[in-house]
Amino acid sequence: MKLRLMGLSKIVYLTLHLLVMVFPLYWIIVTSLKPQKDIFSFPIRYWPERLSFENYENIFKISKFHVYIGNSLLVSVTAAAIVLVISILSAYVLARFAFRGHKQIMLAFIATQMLPGFVALAPLYFMMSSMDLINSRLSLILMYTVGLIPFSTIMLRGFFQRIPSSLEEAAMIDGCSRWSALVRVVIPVMLPGIASTFIFAFVQNWNELFLAVMFIDSDALKTLPVAMNSFILKFDVDWGAMSAGTVLSIVPTILLFAFAQRFIVEGLTQGAEKG
């Protein structure tokens, strides 16, 4: 009886926790589908009387929302891809070779994650200004890449350490160079880790607002978070446009997670087996 009560209490707790976590997303979707006049109606309606897509139409009419989405995709995918390539190579070196300063490099990577971003704002702005990269997508790509390489390297180093070096040694005995063994043997084995790292980098870039606000002035170069921030007016918030924009901004990440779900699950399974 006591075990049944404990099991029931766990189910109730997890159900309540799930509702608390899911309700904000549900409310955003419902708000995006309400006509403007119904958003502030009282009593509160938890489902609109009629579905309306006027908020979605408005964000494309009053702003260049498709341009903002394109800018975010370009910056996020490009930076995440560069981060992935550099981090794979650096993580491989740190995982497979022992050399002087190895531990110091790892400590330096960890230390960079402890510093708040605004500390480097002034040096970054001076650097980008000296290279004439202010108000440029390239400036965001460079800053996102540099900011994410340390943590991505730490992540991938852990995956490399789970792969026995005997796989590479066997490939090199069969005639592969070290580079060929890495590309043809090791990387295919650690695809789950690579997919997880790419998703992490993409999501971080996709949601980044602070640097994008500081370094981008032109409306044609704004990323999606900057555009969403513009819906917060001086004396009001356009909740309909904000909700519709939020729903649209979630779609790429959902699609990415759906596409890479198999790799992520494999990565978690491998981690559990190694543990």
CATH of the domain at 77: 1.10.3720.10
Residue 271 confidence class, pLDDT cut points 50, 70, 90: very low
Residues 258 and 240 in one domain: yes
Residues 89 and 212 in one domain: yes
Residues 20 and 114 in one domain: no
Q: Which range (21-35, 36-50, 189-203) has the least confidence?
A: 36-50
Residues 267 and 159 in one domain: yes
pLDDT at 87: 94
Residue 273 confidence class, pLDDT cut points 50, 70, 90: very low
Residues 153 and 19 in one domain: no
Residues 104 and 208 in one domain: yes
**Each residue of 129-172: pLDDT tens digit?**
888 888 899 999 999 999 899 999 998 998 888 888 888 888 88
| pLDDT, mean over the chain | 84
Domain boundary, last residue among 17, 35, 52 = 52
pLDDT at 274 over 50: no
Residues 87 and 139 in one domain: yes
pLDDT at 169: 84
Residues 30 and 139 in one domain: no
Domain boundary, last residue among 52, 69, 87 = 52
Residues 70 and 31 in one domain: no
Range of the domain at 75: 61-274
Residues 159 and 255 in one domain: yes
Range 22-44 average pLDDT: 84
Residues 47 and 145 in one domain: no
Residues 68 and 32 in one domain: no
Domains in the chain: how many in total? 2
On whether the CB atoms of residues 86 and 145 are closer than 8 A, the answer is: yes
